Amino acid sequence: MSDKYQPHAIEVKWQREWEATELYRSKVDWSKPKHYALTMLPYPSGDLHIGHWFAMTPSDARARWMRMKGYNVLFPMGFDAFGLPAEQAAISNNIHPWKWTYANIERMREQLRSMGAMFDWEREAISCTPEYYKWSEWFFKKFYEHGLAYRGSALVNWSETLQTVLANEQVIDGKDERMGQPVVHKMMEQWFFAITRYADELLNFKPLDWPESIKIMQTNWIGRSEGARATFRTEVGGHPIEIYTTRPDTLWGATFMVLAPEHDLVEKITTEERRPAVRAYVERTALESEIERMVEDREKTGVFTGAFAINPVNDERIPIWIADYVMITYGTGAIMAVPAHDQRDFEFARAQGLPVRVVIQPVDAAEALDGDTMSAAYDGPGLMVNSDAMDGSESTWDKGRKNPAINRVIDWLEATGKGEEAVNYRLRDWLISRQRYWGSPIPMIFDGDAVIPVDDEQLPVELPEDVDFMPTGRSPLTYHEPFYKVDEKRRRETDTLDTFMCSSWYQLRYLSPECESAPFDAEEAAYWLPVDVYTGGAEHAVMHLLYTRFFTKALRDIGLFDDAIEAMRRNGRDPAGAFDEPMTVLRNQGQVLGGERQGDFVLCGGRQVGGRLLAERVEVVEWNQVPPGFAGVFGELAHRTENVLHVDMAGITQFVDVQPDAEIIIPDIAGENNVNQLRHHLDIQRMSKSKGNVVNPDELVAEYGADAMRCYLMFNFDWQKGGPWNENNIKGPQGWLGDVWEIAAAGAPSAPGDPSAERDIERKLHQTIAVINRGLEEFSFNTAIAEQMKFKNALKAALRAGGIGAEVWHSVMNQAIRLLAPFAPHIAEELWAMLGWEYSVHRQPWPEYDAEKAREEQVDLVVMINGKPRETISVAVDIAQERARELALASGAAQRFLDGKAPRRTIFIPGRNGTDPKVNIVV
């Protein structure tokens, strides 16, 4: 028996043993309750980073805990393997995406194994294999057959850098989320999924236990608003211009209309006289990138089309303008402009000298609003004015029908046929075609104008391997004739599917990755679905997490879960609601950030010119070691750009220009030093290679062992928040595991038991179980581990104090190791074996919490005077209220403060869940 904890000696050994004995194979067993724990699958970038460990190992601990609690747990793993990086590697390193991806997967599988997680590798799914994407293609076909996939022309986000279109969700601040390069709008014919049809159902989060922030983000993203649609007509030609507004109560205040520059009607209605100006404006807008259009406080620009429209509510003639503040992608791409009550319209009206007419007058304002003098739009409550029959209607802050004025106007619009109630969404349909090679082919064939799906028997349409990667960024499929040419007439679709489509259903493929007759086995789906707990990063809030919800609902409506529903019934389980949502519970982990780094402390000598020092000499010294009489600049190096140092000198930033021939002295770095070697201060921020603050999990495992790593990650952060990396803190969990090892290795004490000491450790054990249970339940891994550490201390103290008999010690150790198993699976397994218990600790039941055993017998009764604690009296835990009051009043503190007088009142607070009982005496 080894008396020292040596992680490396045991970890690989147990990982092999677990695999050899199929410890983590999960099979359908209708006699047991199921638990499908899922953690987001990685992209095979080639290296597992600390973020993967942080996301996956706590999830693993929780899955293990559920298993010990008696659930049949499925905890699978796979790879989201299509995507741009593979293609970029192909272009720049001349390596085929297949090779690159598979090599990375091989490597990452090994890295994942070193976590000691309970992944069931028999269920691994990889999205870029033909066995997998056959079904991605098949789903596409099903969607197409059911009208959920369609080809449409739309203004799309086009990335010149990536040579592909992107979904709205993939464009951030006008740049692509991957490379951060500008995205422009372009009219293109593309494939879409009709996600907007599910907008309302996607807004229903009632069945979901998801973080509030994600629900809010999705709600905002879907952006439902209520209002009305109305049709204006052009004065000449009578072209209808449909508008959407959330403020139909201000229809009478429309003094002009604005169309988005891309609007279809612009060409038709523009007068000959205005055409040159309008064309110039439209062209200018098209060239502008999204970023330029989004600059804040941008001055409103636009041009008059020369055309007029008739306002249907009052037959008024108003000018039609075009302006880039109206977006073609929102609503109908055309607005009625009500400058008096909409700030944007107001700014535009003032900039262009257009009239402003008040139609909502606030009731109790000191002065009535006047369109000619007001300095900002008024969007508050009031009474409708200048609105014919609607005058006097009360408009409130409420939106939609809840607002009496809006309600009345909508009724009137509908009665007169001038408009109708309408709901609008910010959400657009999901653009799913990508002009890339490394993705699932879209199983469609063009035959002239006709579009024909590929026969099921011919699926999958396989990606050809013998393609040439050109540095143009164009997809190789577009010039690979054997692929696209079906025959003289017919041509295959060369666009591929957005990888988010592949990851929208991977939780289903895990159920039966080998299944050849269907995307998933109905029996497996009936047993395992839905996912009970899903863990992963919050960065997927509005992409993956919205798409996969849509996907599940679409599959349900197409009827693809019908067999599973039938199987569920057959096995006596109620299928109600089981296939409405993919994941019942969602929790997001935070991010592990780079650690903070102190800048060098520097002494800079040279001559002072203006506000800066031209340094001839810079020396790195010990913190605050400034020679007496030193005349230059000294302090922490806060920042450096090229040769300019920002030195923090007692809180004031001093600028130091290091001269080209200056002498740089850095004692830690041998040889001649240069300015680039100076270490400047680094704030806590994301880990990235360029910042040089990335940590490598493989090296850490080699140094500390997987168990210590797992425990450090769980202990040192609030999991749902994340935080800065601090390697120094690994010592805590490492020392704890070492202590546990020693305690276990020490063997049972031979002394006879003292019932009181044994009762104490037993009580402590059960109190610990309660806290760990709660910690795991709530993803509060840090508190669970802190409690284990405390228990270790108690165990150690008890052993030193003596009085624990062999029988109790064995029972306590047996349970303590089981408590440790989910967190540190290797050491737990080793100690379990070392103490002679049967393989495996991971097949043991979780220790049962016994409230009776956790109960304290004696507690301190706190005597408070006017709410301030003054004295404690040791009493029985179940002390009666009357007795407590008596004891409190008799206490020295009470006597002193009361000084013979009667108390004004006394308040008894019983001790509940661990708190002491109290009596507050008000004097």
Partner RNA sequence: GCCUCCGUAGCUCAGGGGUAGAGCGCUCCCUUGGUAAGGGCGAGGUCAUGAGUUCAAAUCUCAUCGGAGGCUCCA
User: What's the closest the beta carbon of residue 719 comes to RNA, in angstroms?
Assistant: 8
Task: Determine the interface stretch with RNA among 158-166, 214-222, 313-321, 451-459 (rule: CB under 7 A).
Answer: 214-222
Q: Out of 11, 120, 249, 342, point to the residue binding RNA (CB under 7 A).
A: 342
User: Cβ of residue 357: shortest distance to RNA, in angstroms?
Assistant: 15
Kindly tell me which of 555 and 713 has the beta carbon lying closer to RNA.
713
* Residue placing its CB nearer to RNA in the complex, 269 or 541: 541
Question: What is the spatial distance between Cα 870 and Cα 923, in angstroms, rounded to a whole number?
Answer: 13
Residues 221, 446, 484, 837: which binds RNA (CB under 7 A)?
221
Pairing of strands 433-434, 496-497: antiparallel
Q: What string marks each residue from 716 to 735 as x (binds RNA by CB under 7 A) or -?
A: xxx--xxxx-x-xx-xx--x
Neighbours of 696 (CB within 10 A): 12
Instruction: With beta carbons less than 8 A apart as the criterion, state whether 844 and 68 touch.
Output: yes
CB atoms near residue 849 (< 10 Å)? 17
Q: Which two tokens stand for residue 247?
A: 């403020």
Contact between 4 and RNA by CB under 7 A: the answer reads yes
Site for RNA in 401-440 (CB under 7 A): 424, 426
The tokens for 180 are 């951060």
The residues with which 612 forms a beta bridge, in sequence order, are 609, 655
> Quick one: which of 204, 220, 598, 653 contacts RNA (CB under 7 A)?
220
For residue 691, the minimal CB distance to RNA (Å) is: 14
Nearer to RNA, 329 or 396 (CB): 329
Cα–Cα distance measured from residue 298 to residue 591, given in angstroms and rounded to the nearest whole number: 35
Structure tokens at 817: 């190791």
Cα gap 759→763, rounded to integer Å: 6
817 φ, ψ (degrees, to nearest 5): -70, -35
Beta bridge partners of 256: 337
Output 595 or 632, the one with its CB closest to RNA.
Answer: 595
CB 321 within 8 A of CB 256: yes
- Which residues from 688-717 bind RNA, rule CB under 7 A? 715-717
Identify which of 507, 505, 255, 200 has the alpha carbon closest to the alpha carbon of residue 371: 255
Question: Cβ 694 to RNA, closest distance in Å?
Answer: 18
x/- mask, RNA, residues 484-523, rule CB under 7 A, reads ----------------------------------------
Three-state DSSP state, 412: helix
Measure the CA–CA gap between 87 and 98, rounded to whole angstroms.
9
Nearer to RNA, 216 or 389 (CB): 216
Query: Does residue 916 belong to the site contacting RNA (CB under 7 A)?
Result: yes
Interface residue with RNA, options 21, 213, 608, 696 (CB under 7 A): 213
Distance of alpha carbon 863 from alpha carbon 889, whole angstroms:
9
Among 780, 840, 844, 891, binds RNA (CB under 7 A): 780
185 contacts 155 by C-beta, under 8 angstroms: yes
**What is the smallest separation between the CB atom of 667 and RNA, expressed in angstroms?**
21
Q: Out of 61, 322, 477, 862, which residue is the one contacting RNA (CB under 7 A)?
A: 862
Q: How far is the CB of 168 from RNA (least distance, A)?
A: 8
Least Å distance between CB 717 and RNA? 5
Give me the least distance between CB of 816 and RNA, in Å please: 16
Query: Which x/- pattern, by CB under 7 A, does the window 896-915 give for RNA?
Result: ---------x-x-x-----x
Q: Tell me which residues in 516-555 interact with RNA (CB under 7 A).
A: 538, 541-542
**Binding residues among 249-268 for RNA as defined by CB under 7 A:** 260
Piece of 139-147, 193-201, 208-216, 357-365 that binds RNA (CB under 7 A): 208-216
783 scored as a contact of RNA (CB under 7 A): yes
Cα separation, 455 vs 458, in Å, equals 5
Q: Which two tokens stand for residue 887?
A: 């004891």
Interacting residue with RNA among 103, 179, 187, 216 (CB under 7 A):
216
The answer to the question of residue 598 lying near RNA (CB under 7 A) is no
Which of residues 316, 663, 742, 754 is near RNA by CB under 7 A? 742
Per CB under 7 A, the segment of 507-515, 605-613, 659-667, 785-793 that binds RNA is 785-793
Task: List the one residue from 69, 109, 344, 617 that touches RNA (CB under 7 A).
Answer: 344
Judged by CB under 7 A, the stretch of 95-103, 179-187, 230-238, 788-796 that binds RNA is 788-796
> Which among 344, 326, 313 is positioned nearest to 248, based on CA atoms?
313
Q: Rounded to an integer, what distance in angstroms lies between the CA atom of residue 137 and that of residue 121?
A: 25
Please give the backbone phi and psi of residue 257, each rounded to the nearest 5 degrees, phi first: -120, 155
CA atoms of 438 and 133, how far apart (whole Å): 12
> What's the Rg (C-alpha) of the chain?
35
If DSSP codes are grouped into helix, strand and coil, which group holds residue 425? coil
**Residue selected from 70, 180, 223, 276 as contacting RNA according to rule CB under 7 A:** 223
Please list every residue from 602 through 661 that binds RNA, using CB under 7 A: none
Q: At 852, which amino acid appears?
A: E
Q: Does 452 bind RNA (CB under 7 A)?
A: no
Q: Binding RNA by CB under 7 A: which of 184, 217, 486, 879?
A: 217
Count, residues near RNA per rule CB under 7 A: 83
* Alpha-carbon span 698 to 110, nearest angstrom: 10
When the beta carbons of 753 and 903 are compared against RNA, the nearer one is: 903
Letter for the amino acid at 163?
A: Q
CA angle 848, 849, 853 (to 5 degrees): 120
Cα gap 145→163, rounded to integer Å: 29
Considering the complex, what minimum distance in angstroms separates the CB of residue 165 from RNA?
17
For position 247 contacting RNA by CB under 7 A, the verdict is yes
Nearest Cα neighbor of 494 from 432, 460, 443, 431 is 443
Can you tell me the distance from the alpha carbon of 259 to that of 305, in angstroms, rounded to the nearest whole number?
Answer: 10
Cα-based torsion angle of the residue sequence 171, 499, 695, 37 in order, rounded to the nearest 10 degrees: 120
In the complex with RNA, which residue's Cβ is closer, 583 or 862?
862
Instruction: Between 203 and 786, name the residue whose CB sits nearer to RNA.
Output: 786
Q: How far apart are CA 311 and CA 314, in angstroms?
A: 6
Q: Is residue 737 near RNA by the rule CB under 7 A?
A: no
Indicate whether 815 belongs to the interface with RNA (CB under 7 A).
Answer: no
Of the candidates 547, 570, 590, which has an alpha carbon nearest to the alpha carbon of residue 55? 590
Q: How many angstroms separate the CA atoms of 608 and 586, rounded?
A: 59
| SS3 readout for 788-829 | HHHHHHHHHHHHHHCCCCHHHHHHHHHHHHHHHCCCCHHHHH
Q: Which of residues 120-179 bind RNA (CB under 7 A)?
A: 172
- Least Å distance, CB 764 to RNA, is 13
**Binding region for RNA (CB under 7 A) out of 71-79, 159-167, 387-395, 737-745:** 737-745
Q: Which of 39, 245, 512, 767 binds RNA (CB under 7 A)?
A: 245
In this complex, which beta carbon is closest to RNA, that of residue 542 or of residue 833? 542
* Near RNA by CB under 7 A: residue from 51, 76, 116, 331: 331
Q: How far is the CB of 345 from RNA (least distance, A)?
A: 8
DSSP 8-state class, residue 624: T
Dist. CA 15–CA 245, nearest whole Å: 62
CB of 705 to RNA, least distance (A): 15
Which one, 332 or 840, has the nearer CB to RNA? 332
Binding test (CB under 7 A) with RNA, winner from 26, 104, 136, 782: 782
Closest CA to 573 of 581, 564, 561: 564
Binding region for RNA (CB under 7 A) out of 210-218, 457-465, 505-513, 639-647: 210-218
Show the site string, 301-330: x = touches RNA by CB under 7 A, - = not: -----------------------xxxxxxx
